[in-house]
Structures are given as structure tokens and as C-alpha cells.
Amino acid sequence: MKKVKLHLNYAGHCLSNEHHAIRGGRRREIEFQALWGLIEHPEFGNVLYDTGYTSRFFEATKNYPNKIYAKITKVIINKSDEVASQLKSNNIDPKSINHVIITHFHADHVGGMKDFPNALFYCSKVALKHVMNISKSIAFSRGVLKSLLPDNLKDRVHIIEDHCTAQKDEILGKTFDLFGDDSIRIVELPGHGAGQIGVLLETQKRPYFLIADACWLKKSYQEMILPNPIVRLFFDSWKDFKNSLAKVNRYYKDNPEVVIVPTHCSESTNPLVSSKIDFDVL
């Protein structure tokens, strides 16, 4: 693959139960960090991987029915932790961001979309159709807060299936070459969220597979341990989730050199994140 550079950090977090995140987990609260990434491409410049939480979450969940979301999911986010604030503190103007990959449209992945007025957004056809068509009255039950989305979203979206060259991978199935130069490959990982995608890339030091919420804890993909069945209530497709997890499990076994990064697994992400943007670390 063509080499890029990568930075990872958190933009807020929520609290969840470990025994919900994985079968056999302990009955204790754990932090689900909202991971985001900044990919430096040699030709296309800075590319965002998701946008984390912002304080807009609290405004979006002030009234019912969205208030139910806030009661179920305790979110912690400070202004200084938002992606736009972090970029500014590292002398990067959010208006200079022209490309944002949206893995799926849950609030912890799209909270900062409105902070990037000049960006094109990349997502799957299924993800866009789902978020545009779902009723506001039930959207919260699928992790979607429609007020977090830019009003002109449809005009600024590039559907990966329509704009990217498709490739076939023996393990991962159909993948998409985002910029047509084999630098960023988009992988279909549906189930947790409608049309969810992940990202394959490689830096000068090592390859990475950013798998979004294809699972929540690394033990899940390593040992094929599913979450507690109660979470099926909030998933788009339990069958697709299991198939996606199986793909990641097989990829992990066949590619031990690749660093697999689930968005919410602190054990995986804590060694990789930094508040200072230094593209020579990862």
C-alpha cells in the first residue's frame, strides 16, 4: 500500500457496562472513548477518520424522545476535547479539512461534522440512506441524532460505492480504494451500524486496520466472543455484525503484523493516542 501518516486521539467518551460489551465481562462501568483519527495523505492533505463527540450532543438530547438516549448513555465531553479544538491547538484550521471518512452515523462518530464546512464526507450508500430516511422519533434508538448532521449533507457526500474503485479481498470481501492510489482502503463492516465501514492503511512503521465498532473489545475479534445479546436491540443487524466480526477475526489470524483498532477498546487505543499531533509516532 502507498504509505500515509496517522494520528489518533479521543474526543470525549461515554460509560458502558463491560458485561454488555462482551459476554462474560465484569459487571462494572468502563469508558468507551470516542476515537478519531487524522490521516496525512501526501497528495490530498489531511483526512479525518470520524469526528467524535461534541457539546452539541447535550443540545440534541435536551428534549424527548432524544433525551432517552442521554439517560441511557452518559456522555462526557469538554470543549477542549472536541476534534476542532484539538486541531486548532495544533495549528490546523478545521476549514482546511477537505475529506472526512464517516464509518457510521452514530452520535459518537459524527458529533463534529458541522465543524468542517469545507469537507467532503465519505460513507457507504446504505449508511446514508439509513440516516436520511430514519424517522426522528425513533432515530435515537439506533444511536442517531439527526440534528448533529450538516443541513447540506446530501450535497457533500461521496458514496464510496459510486466514487471509489472496488477491489476483492479474499478475507474482507469487497473493499474500495478511496483515492485510487491504494493508500486508504475502505472495508465493509456492517451490523453494529447500518452500512458501517472500516479503514485499512499503512504508515512507514506498520499497517493499521481501523474497524470502528465491528467489535468493542479486542478479545472479541481475537477469540470470536460476541457482546451480551441485550445489545441486539440497538444494532442494525445481528447477522451482519457476526459476519463482520468473523471477517476481522480471520484477518487478525492471517495478518498478525497489522494493528487492529476497535474505536472503543481502551486497551488497544491507549498506547496509540496522543494530544499532540506528531505524524512520526504511529
Domain map of the chain by residue range? 5-269
pLDDT of the chain, 282 residues: tens digit per residue: 999 999 999 999 999 999 999 999 999 999 999 999 999 999 999 999 999 999 999 999 999 999 999 999 999 999 999 999 999 999 999 999 999 999 999 999 999 999 999 999 999 999 999 999 999 999 999 999 999 999 999 999 999 999 999 999 999 999 999 999 999 999 999 999 999 999 999 999 999 999 999 999 999 999 999 999 999 888 999 999 999 999 999 999 999 999 999 999 999 999 999 999 999 999
Q: Which DSSP symbol is given to 226?
A: P
Query: Which 3 state secondary structure label does DSSP give 163?
Result: helix
Position 233 scores a pLDDT of 85
Q: Which residue has the cell 474500495?
A: 176
- Residue 153, SS3 per DSSP: helix
Ramachandran quadrant class, 111 (left: phi over 0; alpha: psi -120 to 50; beta: rest): alpha
Taking the C-alpha atoms of residue 215 and residue 17, their distance in angstroms, rounded to an integer, is 14
> What is the C-alpha to C-alpha distance for residues 221 and 246, in angstroms, rounded to an integer?
7
Enumerate residues 6+ apart whose C-beta is below 8 A from 72.
Answer: none
Q: 5-269, what's its fold?
A: Metallo-beta-lactamase; Chain A (3.60.15)
One-character DSSP codes across 235-282: -S-HHHHHHHHHHHHHHHHH-TTSEEEETT-HHHHTTT--SS--TT--
C-alpha cell at 77: 465531553
How far apart, in Å, are the Cα atoms of 110 and each of 28, 82, 115? 27, 11, 10
pTM for the model: 0.97
Q: How far apart are CA 206 and CA 139, in angstroms?
A: 38
